[in-house]
Amino acid sequence: MIATGGPAIPKLGATGFAYQLGKQFGLKIIPPRPALVPFTLPQAENLFRELAGVAAEVVAKAGKTAFREAALFTHKGLSGPAMLQVSRWISCPMPLRPGWPT
């Protein structure tokens, strides 16, 4: 097993070198996917823009997985601990559906 991270932030020097190396040696590659990332929305769909800077306790769910933590409304969408945690459990694209905790 080789765990190298991913090519998520090229500005910091991240590259696809490890994936190329693994393919060269015939290793099974698990496709990378976003994790521990905020949710960004196209500007026209960002319902939260006016709430930028406000945090609230929420229940963020993806399937049967749920996190009761803070969410931070940003000028680009949603961030904060709850959103970063739940981002590990989703497949993109996935619609955001507001709802009340039960």
In a shared domain, residues 67 and 17: no
Q: What is the pLDDT of residues 10-60, one digit of tens each?
A: 777 778 888 888 889 998 888 777 778 888 888 777 777 889 999 999 999
Domain total in the chain:
2
CATH of the domain at 40: 2.40.30.10
**In which domain, by residue range, is 17 found?**
1-32
Q: What is the pTM of this model?
A: 0.67
Q: DSSP of the chain, one letter per residue?
A: ------S--GGGT--SHHHHHHHHTT---PPP---S--EE--GGG-TTGGGTT-EEEEEEEETTEEEEEEEEE-SSEEESHHHHHHGGG--SS---------
Is residue 23 domain-shared with residue 39, that is, in the same domain? Answer: no
Sole residue written with tokens 């229940």: 59
Residues 47 and 20 in one domain: no
| Domain match, 8 and 56 both | no
